[in-house]
């Protein structure tokens, strides 16, 4: 699927602010894949747009996913599949995923939208599922950010 102009603008803006401690899909790599278990095609559960690394490039600080068209099912799916992963492959290395932050950048809804995205409702449900019930996974936290 082709990258939209809005997606590209947001991705490049974020990536530029994080260089040189980041990888960006669509720019310097084709995919930043997330795996559960051994690195085999059938174990790849997801991919992300940007991987932010520590200054020494030994660990991942944050995974960033940018989504143009958002709905509750898609947001929940991104968070849950990411949480289930334990390894990220970049062109430079393979990183274990432990206590990672996931940031999901959503396109800001129009003011007069008939179906505003209820991020607080989604976040409350996910917090309960992931952290109250203590489902094992790689996420220490996640956040949604609306971007114009």
Give the mean pLDDT per block of 10 residues along the chain (148 residues). 88 94 81 94 96 95 91 92 96 94 89 67 90 92 91
Q: Which of 48, 55, 44 lies closest to 14, judged by CA? A: 48
Q: Specify the pTM.
A: 0.92
Enumerate the H helices of the chain as residue ranges. 5-18, 72-84, 119-127
Per-residue model confidence (pLDDT) at position 28: 62
Per-residue model confidence (pLDDT) at position 113: 64
Per-residue model confidence (pLDDT) at position 117: 63
The boundaries of the domain holding residue 105 are 5-147
* Encoded tokens for 4: 């939209």
Per-residue model confidence (pLDDT) at position 26: 78
Domains contained in the chain, number: 1
Cβ 91 vs Cβ 29: under 8 Å: yes
Residue 74's alpha-carbon distances to 17, 53, 55, in angstroms, are 26, 26, 31
Per-residue model confidence (pLDDT) at position 54: 95
User: How far is it, in rounded angstroms, from Cα 131 to Cα 140?
Assistant: 9
Per-residue model confidence (pLDDT) at position 5: 93
């Amino acid at each position: 699927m082709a990258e939209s102009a809005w997606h590209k603008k947001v991705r490049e803006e974020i990536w530029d602010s994080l260089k040189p401690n980041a990888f960006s899909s669509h720019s310097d790599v084709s995919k930043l894949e997330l795996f559960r278990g051994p690195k085999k095609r059938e174990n790849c559960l997801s991919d992300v747009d940007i991987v932010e690394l520590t200054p020494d490039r030994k660990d991942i600080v944050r995974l960033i996913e940018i989504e143009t068209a958002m709905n509750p099912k898609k947001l929940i799916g991104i968070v849950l599949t990411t949480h289930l992963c334990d390894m990220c492959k970049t062109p430079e290395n393979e990183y274990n995923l432990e206590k990672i932050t996931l940031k999901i950048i959503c396109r800001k809804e129009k003011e007069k939208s008939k179906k505003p995205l209820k991020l607080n409702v989604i976040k409350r449900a996910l917090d309960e599922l992931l952290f109250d019930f203590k489902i094992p996974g790689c996420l220490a936290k996640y956040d949604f950010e609306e971007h114009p």
